[in-house]
Amino acid sequence: MSSKVMVIGGGLAGITAAIALAESGADVTLLEARPRLGGATCSFSRDGLTVDTGQHVFLGCCSAYRGLLARLGMTEHAPLQDRFDVTVLAPGGHGGVVPHGAGRAPGADGRPRQARLRRTALPGPLHMLPALGRYPFLSFAERMSVGRPALGMRRVNPADPAVDTQRFGDWLAKRGQSERTRRALWDLFSVSALNIAGDDASLALAAVVVKTGLLGKNNAADIGVPALPLGELHGDAGATLLAKLGAQVVMGTKVSAVEPVPHGGYRIQLAQGDPVTADAVVLAVPHEKAAALIPAGALPERTVAGWAGLGASPIVNVHVIYDRPVMDLPFVAAIDSPVQWVFDRTRISGLDRPGPENPQKHQYLAISLSAADDYADTPAARLREIFVPALAELFPAARDAQVAEFFVTRERRATFRQAPGTAALRPKAATQQPGLVLAGAWTDTGWPDTMEGAVRSGLAAAAELKASLSTIGVSK
């Protein structure tokens, strides 16, 4: 008889663990409190539009996440760039602050300044050198200084506990990186990847991003952008595959307690309805919820209490629909602006389909704001006052366009706060309770809190659980 496994939580970690366990022959049930799968990577409908809760991208080096896409049959719907290629904009004559000797002189017409970071076919880490050497938002001396930390980062060991005690900004400053260089270059990569102000990030986690994405293989940082709503890409596809594998998915079901049974197995108490039982449990929920659900004795109390120190960092997405096209690229990054990254969501949202609610001439842009502590509780009306003019500084066509719709989505606890000292707080998948494992991007995956980290955690949890079930004599 196969073992009965309960996976609690239907985000990427839970979906991944459930698939791996079902493929190994386990009788899997996945419980999700929300009405849909996907966790932080899900979608909802708003006035006929499909809206993702947040904009998510991935890189060529995200091998585990790309493996999940392949298993879901979604690879073609999440294409990678042919090569890393990012346009960076900054306000022109009436917006941005340009240090002496850095960047193109602002035009009298206030047109935005522009740069392009595009890798070459050279092997890593040489592939980015030509683009960095021409990067106009830094002075010649600042561009020449970038090589020192790049070379120094190759000697940083992210697994060294001492490395996690250091701030990324301090480490960069000691290697000649000016305030301007950190804001105009390093923040482009670190803030979006780590969801924390660049200077405040853990050096250990920043090292994973830089060494893997920028200093590794030349295609490691190539950007992948989903071409389907995340709800279809992850949630719907995950539910379909799990059904094919014989797993059961139960949504709208909140778990209130997980209790070990004296002679083995677990009783899972539900907020509504009768309890259910299982031989084993994957606890694939955020760290705050895991701390409330994990049975006493499964881990030392100080370990569970320490999870509170992981904290949380918000992501805010500002959605703006114009009455005409204003941006002619799929996405751009910005500096010297409250805007960080902007994505064209017109096609993926369904706005390009003809109809009275979706005129073809409209364009839907989404601004993704990481480390958004300053905006998490700002009223939408105030955000409109900030970001509509900011977009007009970056896209001249927006100055004459009308805003047809403006709304905001907020993920107040999007990731844990990836600051120094958090490595010691992240638990492994295994617990001291046989048949109980942890999953989630907040666990000790060796990666930042990203989609890649979530998938890696799900795989690790499944592997640990299969070994645990074998040890206690439950058939896989």
What is the assigned CATH class of domain 4-40+228-310+418-471? alpha beta
Give the Å distances, CA to CA, from 145 to 140, 182, 216, 373.
9, 11, 20, 31
CA torsion through residues 167, 173, 175, 179, sign:
positive
CA–CA dist 196, 202 (Å, integer): 9
Contact 240, 71 (CB under 8 A): no
Looking at 73-161, list the stretches that DSSP marks H as alpha helix, in order from N- to C-terminal side.
129-133, 140-145, 147-153
| CATH code linked to domain 122-218 | 1.10.405
Domain boundaries, the chain: 4-40+228-310+418-471, 85-118+313-415, 122-218
CA–CA dist 465, 262 (Å, integer): 19
Residue 115 in tokens? 């740069």
CA–CA dist 42, 44 (Å, integer): 7
Query: How far does CA 264 lie from the centroid of its chain?
Result: 37
Q: Which residue from 149, 146, 117, 148 is spatially nearest to 134, judged by alpha carbons? A: 117
Residue pointed to by tokens 């386990």: 26
Residues, the chain: 476
Q: What is the DSSP string of 245-285?
A: TT-EEEES--EEEEEE-TTSSEEEEESSS--EEESEEEE-S
* pLDDT tens across the length of the chain (476 residues): 479 999 999 999 999 999 999 999 999 999 999 999 999 999 999 988 999 988 999 999 999 999 999 999 999 999 999 999 999 999 985 333 333 333 343 444 679 999 999 999 998 888 988 999 999 999 999 999 998 998 899 899 999 999 999 999 999 999 999 999 999 999 999 999 999 999 999 999 999 999 998 888 999 999 999 999 999 999 999 999 999 999 999 999 999 999 999 988 999 999 999 999 999 999 999 999 999 999 999 999 999 999 999 999 999 999 999 999 999 999 999 999 999 999 999 999 999 766 555 555 899 999 999 999 999 999 999 999 999 999 999 999 999 999 999 999 999 999 999 999 999 999 999 999 999 999 999 999 999 999 999 999 999 999 999 988 766 555 44
Contact 238, 273 (CB under 8 A): no
CA–CA dist 82, 416 (Å, integer): 32
Q: What is the DSSP string of 390-452?
A: HHHHH-GGGGS--EEEEEEEEEEEEE----TT-GGGPPPSB-SSTTEEE-STTSS-SS-SSHH
In DSSP terms, 137 is beta-bridged to none
Contact 327, 365 (CB under 8 A): yes
**Helix crossing, 63-72 with 237-244: angle to 10°?**
70
Domain pair 4-40+228-310+418-471 / 85-118+313-415, same fold? no
Give the Å distances, CA to CA, from 241 to 23, 69, 72, 237, 248.
10, 11, 7, 6, 11
pTM (whole model) above 0.75: yes
In DSSP terms, 344 is beta-bridged to 365
Fold type of domain 85-118+313-415: Polyamine Oxidase; Chain A, domain 2 (3.90.660)
E strands along 108-178, which residues? 113-118
